[in-house]
Amino acid sequence: MFTGFIDTARADGDPDRGRKAFLQCLSCHSARPDLHKTGPSLATVAGRKAATVEGFGRYSDALKASGLVWSDEKLDAWMLDPRGLVPGTSMNIPGIKSTSDRRDIIAFLKAVKAEQSAERSPAPSNESGGSMMMGDRPMPDLEALGPERQVASLTYCRGTYHVRTVAGQVQKIWEFNLRFKSDSSDKGPMAGKPVIIPKGMRGDRFFVIFAQPSEISPFIENRC
């Protein structure tokens, strides 16, 4: 249950239900102020001018030029049909058709912002209950991963990547199943010390994550 001070009886939606409804947004958005994903954190979006969340640089030109302020009505219209409200937006979801879900999510976002304004400390993230900040899994601290995840060398030969870890293990990965990413945040790997992370249910897909995009090409050796 939400532990904040929002009077849910007078709200159009229910923030506790909204926390659960917000799970459908988590693949692209966070409810933590320090965590941007494909889309910006929504921790302070309620009542804010569109395309102004600090630290996020992937807004579409259409949204930046829209002049919108995220009132309840605009948030509702956006979640229903983002491209209908702002033609040219890069948010290409089909929209949330449930009126009650949209109202509950708005109530949730307003409650989260109220917590931020009151400088309340969010509880540790999980999805089993607790404060309104629940639902965002914490980002792993890539710098703290052990030698079995730290990449010592990375070679490419005839469609296969050979990834050697600092622990001495070698993983042979089909090129289609290995993705290269970067994370320049304080949770990212140390400069020049990428890490490998398993991804997917079958155990055959991986991410190699670098501190900066400029590290990727020089790190890969083409040799058989």
- The whole-number pLDDT of residue 185 equals 85
Mean pLDDT by 10 residues, the chain (224 residues): 39 87 91 88 95 92 96 96 95 92 95 76 40 54 90 94 95 92 90 90 84 96 92
Please report the pLDDT score of residue 38 as a whole number. Answer: 86
Claim to verify: residue 155 and residue 79 sit in the same structural domain: no
19 located within any domain: yes
Are 98 and 25 in the same domain? yes
Residue 217's pLDDT is what? 95
User: Could you tell me if residue 174 is inside a domain?
Assistant: yes
pLDDT at site 136: 53
Tell whether 92 and 164 lie within a shared domain.
no
Residue that finishes a domain, picked among 101, 117, 133: 117
Is there a single domain that holds both residue 153 and residue 101? no
Going by C-alpha positions, the residue among 158, 175, 133, 152 that lies closest to residue 222 is 158
DSSP state of 190: P
Exposure string over 139-157, b if 16+ CB within 10 A, otherwise e: beebeebeeebbbeebeee
- For residue 157, the enclosing domain spans 143-222
In a domain, 122, yes or no: no
pLDDT at residue 107 in the model: 95
Examine the domain organization and report whether 18 and 95 are in the same domain: yes
Same domain, 24 and 96: yes
Q: What DSSP designation does 167 have?
A: T
Write the CATH number for 165: 2.40.50
Sign, CA torsion 150/220/171/207: positive
Tokens linked to 220:
């890969």
pLDDT at residue 18 in the model: 94
pLDDT at 116: 77
Contact at 8 Å (CB) between 42 and 32? no
Q: How many of the other CB atoms lie within 10 Å of CB of 46? A: 19
Q: Is 113 helix (H, G, I), strand (E, B) or coil?
A: helix
Residue 187 falls inside a structural domain: yes
Please indicate, yes or no, whether residues 40 and 104 belong to a single structural domain of this protein: yes
Say if 133 falls within a structural domain. no
202 is a domain residue: yes
Q: Does 99 share its domain with 153?
A: no
Asked whether residue 64 is domain-assigned, the answer is yes
Residues 89 and 167 in one domain: no
Look up the CATH number of the domain holding residue 100. 1.10.760.10
Question: Could you tell me if 36 and 139 are in contact, meaning their C-beta atoms sit under 8 angstroms apart?
Answer: no
Global pTM exceeds 0.85: no
Q: Is 125 among the domain residues? A: no
Based on the fold, state whether residues 158 and 213 are members of the same structural domain.
yes
Same domain, 100 and 148: no
Q: What's the pLDDT score for residue 121?
A: 44
Distances (CA, A) of 172 to 76, 148, 163, 206, 207: 48, 15, 6, 11, 13
